Amino acid sequence: MYKKIMVPVDLSHREKLDKAIATAADLSKFYKAVVQMVGVTGSAPSAAARTPEEFAAKLAKFAAIESERYGVEFGAHAITTTDPATDLDDRLGREA
């Protein structure tokens, strides 16, 4: 049924992602689906990272940690936009 699962990730709120990540991991194991964590960041410094490159590295590290934790391979994809607050829904929709 599922071939790919996208999990939107806000690195500023990692503590609130456990349920979504656990569900994606369970679905991935059951359906042998690929899981992709997607994060949207701005080009300006933020609480999550100072640069888009740093954000991408943090997202990749987070995906690696969760992969080990759940025994499922989580991919990481960072999207950079000029205004994440305004563009978030549109960018995630296009990514899906």
Judge contact between 28 and 72, C-beta under 8 A. yes
pLDDT of residue 44: 81
Domains of the chain, with CATH numbers?
4-95 (3.40.50.620)
pLDDT of residue 6: 96
CA distances from 45 to 10, 62, 69, 83, 94 (A): 15, 19, 29, 12, 24
Pairing of strands 4-8, 74-81: unpaired
Q: What is the DSSP letter of 82?
A: S
What pLDDT tens digit does each residue of the chain (96 aa) get?
789 999 999 998 989 999 999 999 999 999 999 999 999 998 888 888 889 999 999 999 999 999 999 999 999 999 999 888 898 899 999 888
- Output the pTM of the full model: 0.90
For 32, left (φ over 0), alpha (ψ -120 to 50), or beta? left
pLDDT of residue 60: 97
